[in-house]
A and B are shown apart, each in its own frame.
Chain A
Amino acid sequence: MENKEYLMGNEAMGRGAVEAGVKVVTGYPGTPASEVLEYASNYPNVHVEWCINEKVALEIAMGASLCYTRAMAVMKHNGTNVALDFLMHLNYTGVRGGLVLISGDDPGGISSQNEEDSRIITHLDAHLPVFDPWCPQEAKDMVRTAFELSEKTELCFVVRPVMRVCHARSRVNLEEIASIGKEPFFEDDRSRFIMSAVREPKAGGVLRPVLRHKWLNEKQPELLQIMEDSPFNYLEEGDGNIGLIACGIGYAYLKEAEKILGKKFPTLKLGTLPLPRDKILKFARQMDKLVVYEDSEAVVQGLLKELLYDEGIEVEVAGRSGFLPKEGELSTEVVLASLASLYPELKKSLPKSEPLAINVPIRTRTQCIGCSYRGLLHALKLIARKTHGIVTGDIGCYDAGSFLPLELQSTIYCMGSSIPVATGIAYSGSKQPVFSIIGDSTLFHNGILGLLNAIHNAVDMVAIVCDNRTTAMTGFQPHPGSDTDITGKPVAAIDIAKLATAAGATSARLVNPYNIPEVTKALNKAVKEKGVSVIVASSPCYLLGRRTGDIGFTPRKVTLDPDLCNGCKICIDYFGCPAIHFSEGKATIDQATCVDCGMCVVVCKRGAIK
């Protein structure tokens, strides 16, 4: 009997791994992929762990694979960059137990700092096989298959879902949970697992990196054959001589467009890298033109051109190199517009959509009402203004301080960049004081390296750690500073202030970010010190604390006296709590959304907020 459950794509992938008998699942939280681990953590026989960062996650998964155990590492595209160094050696050594890497992409940069396509580093760079699912069911099937093929080929398999697959919810087939696997055992094979520039006596003294590179290259024909026979690549008949190549989520949008237009186009649905060579050549020979729908770079388009060139097939290949937009997310609308440009008679069948004749203000990002970071950012904003300080930022909830109204942080790159960028600013000879601001999870992730480097080199800087005891932005995952793990089991919480002290920071002040005078005092002292002064602004995330009963302030009813408010807007422009509204020259407090944190009482210099 059919056993279906309504699951999101991430849960479906977690389920796929569990069904395949995975024993170790590791990762670092990041939208769009976080829920994969959370799903797997419901199975007590699977060791599931949020790791300090993605490189460590992949390394742990490989360690398990070495003992013939099935393992999986889960991350978002930015995280795959962090894991890349290890991946570029793991591809040469190969694996033992099935090893799957899930790299969730975010075309459109909806929850990310960039819209990188991780097929490029995992396939074009690392030469690993990649599956690109179009829906939750296929994502689950791909994860299951990836484990089997990983063991068969001794290669790490990559599954690259885009956000719309990760977050889509639909009914997914559940299958039995396999109890596979040999008993874990370790055996040495130093010729594989010692990656080093050593000469191989058995291979006539060839250097090992060259030899293992050759091994990886010699795997490619086997992969080609697997993808040729793969159920994830198939042909659909249709009218016309323009062949449509639909990769991953591109297939969903193309099928949707066909449904809207009531048409069927000749389509080759693709879900694998390497590409199924023969299927493509056969298809291409019948067509006058090919159009590739893929998210988000022209990866398949480029590979196709190479393939057709080598075969001497002269067919135009259009896609994300310009025929379709080069940036942003693919969508049904993009596919429809492209089809209407190929077949102008279809223009009349396009759905009509008109915006309202009204200006709709945008919503910029801000901290939640009750967020402790708002007090810290307010205090830092005033000190940075007074001292003409430069503030470098990092990734986390506090990064919203870089937008209006505060416009505090001057730079944001990737996880852990704040302290090294601040270091460079200090080295430039600039006379302005430098502040760096980084979150707890981000500090552990790899910000700690920049901090140690700065302390070691006695860089003059104030390094502020926003410690809300959780990875809040991605949904409250624990990190090495948390006292429980993903399953709720007590674990050792690493004390950030002690860590900074042990490393030799000039000072390490622990402050409550809800207490604005206390934060201000600490910042004023720290900015006058030589070397790295660390300030740990520590208080539980309000949203999480409200659930667990551990919040960082004593609630107090706050009111605003309109007679005392002179409309100076310090509470709006230098604090910006969404529960404070402003109209007709006066601030008001929206009692319905105010959570009684009372921080704004100190912010108001007129005594209007009580």
Chain B
Amino acid sequence: MNLNILIAGVGGQGNLFASAILAEYFINQGFEVLAVETIGAAQRGGSVVSHLRISDSAIYSPLIPAGKVDILMGFEVLEMLRNFKLLGTDGSYLLNDHKDPTVLCNMEMDTYPSDETITAALQKSGKKGYTIKATERAREIGGSLLTNVVMVGALCRLSPLFNSQEVKQVLAHKSPAKVRESNLKAFEAGGSLILEAIRQS
């Protein structure tokens, strides 16, 4: 088995925690895991990309080569679009419908692509994928910081590679006590969101 997951977001969205949950789940299953984050010089607001590679044989490059991503998780719309080129021919995406405008977009020197343009481009790519409102749901539960867990919950319901219950156990184990309950709630909410999205498609 070879599985490459790319998580694209902005600083502060919790890429690292999401990657760590998934990594521990696969390690528990006996797989080799190799991961790396690409971060810039800033603590917040910049592009952050987590590469997570899972295999039953040796893995070499910590960065997923272009065209080899199986699952592209977009925590932020622009960041997913930016990394779309890494997605493989049979790869699929899971997008959080959350937009974080850039400095240059606010200055009107750049234009954040419109929903219509994005939908058209995604359709033209021919790639499979789902879009859910993870940040919106996270805020309803307790805060936008739960976005990453909502997304992980959605991924686990979407792909047969995951045993939701076991991922949930890892999540419970890795969550600090004061956020454990809201994390588990966010995880379940992610599952419901994706089931709803599948029903509607």
Contacts and interface: CB of A to CB of B under 8 A. Distances in A.
A592 B139 contact: yes
A107 to B, nearest CB: 12
B87 A360 contact: no
Contact of B34 (A168, A355, A367, A572): A168
Q: Which of B60, B67, B101, B113 has the most CB of A within 10 A?
A: B60
Interface in A538-568: 543
Interface residues of B, number: 62
Interface in A323-365: 331-333, 336, 350-365
A357 B81 CA distance: 10
Given A164-B62, A351-B68, A368 B27 contact: no
Nearest to B51: A168
A241 B196 CA distance: 57
Contacts of B121: 356-358
B110 A361 contact: yes
Nearest to A572: B106
A444 B112 CA distance: 41
B7 to A, nearest CB: 13
B163 interface: no
Interface of A is mostly: loop
B101 to A, nearest CB: 6
A358 B117 contact: yes
Given A164-B36, A363-B10, A581-B101, A333 B65 contact: yes
Contacts of A331: 61, 63, 65
Contact of A405 (B34, B60, B81, B107): B107
Interface in A391-411: 397, 400, 403-405
A472 B43 CA distance: 8
Given A355-B84, A361-B110, A110 B105 contact: no
A576 interface: yes
A260 B68 contact: yes
A404 B78 contact: no
B94 interface: no
A353 B60 CA distance: 20
A361 B104 contact: yes
B97 interface: no
Nearest to B124: A357
Nearest to A134: B60
B47 interface: yes
A515 interface: no
B41 interface: yes
A164 to B, nearest CB: 5
Interface in A354-387: 354-369
A555 B166 CA distance: 41
Interface stretch (A174-182, A196-204, A250-258): A250-258
B103 A364 contact: yes
Interface string B69-80: 000000000100
Residue from A331, A358, A362 with most neighbouring chain B CB atoms (10 Å): A358
B84 A356 contact: yes
* Residue among B40, B43, B87 facing the most chain A CB atoms (10 A cut-off): B43
Interface string A231-275: 000000000000000000001110110011000000000000000
A452 interface: no
B10 A582 contact: no
Contact of B61 (A252, A351, A363): A252
Contact of B65 (A169, A170, A332, A472): A332
A450 interface: no
A112 to B, nearest CB: 8
B66 A333 contact: yes
Given A110-B39, A351-B65, 6 more contacts: A169-B35, A336-B65, A351-B88, A356-B124, A573-B107, A592-B139
Interface of B: 10, 12, 23-24, 27, 32-47, 58-63, 65-68, 78, 81-82, 84-89, 100-113, 117-118, 121-122, 124-125, 139, 144
Closest 5 CB pairs of A and B: A351-B67, A353-B67, A368-B44, A256-B61, A168-B62
20 contacts: A6-B23, A164-B36, A169-B34, A169-B62, A255-B58, A350-B67, A352-B88, A353-B85, A356-B84, A358-B113, A361-B105, A361-B110, A362-B102, A363-B78, A365-B45, A403-B103, A473-B41, A572-B106, A576-B106, A578-B103
